[in-house]
Amino acid sequence: MSTEVLEKIKSGQETLTSWMNHMHETPELAMTETNTSKFIADRLREIGGWEIVEGVGKTGIVATMKVGDGNKSIGLRADFDALPIQEDNSLPYKSTIPGKAHLCGHDGHTTMLLGAAKYLSETKNFNGTVRLFFQPGEETMEGAPAMIADGLFEKFPVDSVYGMHNMPGLELGKFYFNTGKFMAAVDNWEIEITGKGSHGSMPELGIDPIVCGSALVMALQTIVSRNLSPWHNSVVNVGSFQSGLAGNAVPQNAILRLSIRNMDPDDRKMVLDKVRKITKAQADSFNCKVEIREGIPGTVLVNSEEETHWAANVAKETFGSDRVFTNAKPYMGSEDFAFMLEKEKGNYCMVGNGDTFMVHHPQYVFNQELLPVGARYWVALVENYLK
């Protein structure tokens, strides 16, 4: 295992930790990360040597460095948006913004890429072009499409692009790769049911959207269990059901928010069609009106074979074969990095966060021991790709 570079990066652990702590204390939600974006750009300017373009896809940043006469280019991507969840822990750098928190580790991802930016700027031990993509809006699947629509790969071309995510439950600091379909397509939908409000003592004068919505939640659970083979992967999750404020009233409206995930395009089409049909049928049966608001169409994250094998081999050379797994199971979680991999070949891997609460849990904590490890992985990719 190569240790010299890792030890040099570790010598700056205090700086890396301070950067992450700042972002953790001041989280911003998807596509509103103006202060976080400015913080990242300011750190890049302090590091020096990077050509910085801000406002790519609204709040995204692209940092470019060219060294020597090499004509190859590599893209590295990190996300930096937070979640609308209240943090529940006693960290000294706990979120200071009520109802918002970095509970997926995007602050750690960005810090790792900044750590790599610092090392690469100091050493310039490569020949070619490095592009760092600091991406907003991953949690809502808006950020990658926004940057792509803003001409990301036309203005900042790369030969291949790479991403990485921490994962609780996997061994700390170990890397997990797989080729082909690695993460599911997600479709985030909102369903609004409109009934007729009434006093709770006279329900016959109203049309109850809560009863309709409750029946709908149960009916939606039959889509996967009764239409797909157990060998196929699909999830229909109703994560939010909001209606009414008073116990003695029949409310006028109910809103359901869904996260629908599929690994196969044909399964996805069937599942989404079933959601539409069942929703309309349930609403009709309860005399309710319904509106389905469909979000950004999802896509499956597919790792290209050659780039995945190459990245895994670089990780083995860097950290040792015992710290790299090449047959990682696919995840039903989703990533808008999938949209980047539709445009360019590349790889998305997992790095173990250890035995912690799962991402999106109020008590999730990103293990800061990963900061130099992730930075070292990025440096290894650059120095090997641009020899």
Q: Is 241 helix (H, G, I), strand (E, B) or coil?
A: strand
| Element (DSSP H or E) covering residue 239 | strand 234-242
Predicted pLDDT of residue 25: 98
The alpha-helical segments, DSSP class H, found in the chain are 4-10, 13-25, 34-47, 106-123, 143-149, 152-155, 209-220, 222-227, 265-285, 305-319, 337-343, 370-385
Q: Is 188 helix (H, G, I), strand (E, B) or coil?
A: strand
Span between the terminal Cα atoms of the chain, in Å:
19
Q: Predicted confidence band at 91 (pLDDT cuts at 50, 70, 90)?
A: very high
Task: Dump pLDDT digits (tens) for 27-36.
Answer: 999 999 999 9
Q: pTM of the prediction?
A: 0.94
* Contact criterion met (CB below 8 Å) for 162 and 135: no
Average pLDDT over residues 320-332: 97
pLDDT over threshold 90, residue 1: no
pLDDT over threshold 80, residue 375: yes
Side-chain-facing half-sphere of 12: CA atoms under 13 Å: 23
Residue 128 bridge partners (DSSP): 67
- Amino acid letter, residue 268: R
User: How much of the chain exceeds pLDDT 90, in percent?
Assistant: 98
Spacing of C-alpha 366 from chain mean position: 14
Q: Is 220 helix (H, G, I), strand (E, B) or coil?
A: helix
What is the tally of helices (H) and strands (E) in the chain?
12, 16
Task: Dump pLDDT digits (tens) for 96-149.
Answer: 999 999 999 999 999 999 999 999 999 999 999 999 999 999 999 999 999 999
> Which residue bears the tokens 């950020």?
143
Cα–Cα distance, 333 to 174 (Å, whole number): 19
Predicted pLDDT of residue 2: 63
Predicted pLDDT of residue 3: 83
pLDDT over threshold 90, residue 164: yes
Predicted pLDDT of residue 335: 97
Residue ranges of domains in the chain, CATH in brackets: 4-182+300-385 (3.40.630.10), 185-294 (3.30.70.360)
* Contact criterion met (CB below 8 Å) for 80 and 135: yes
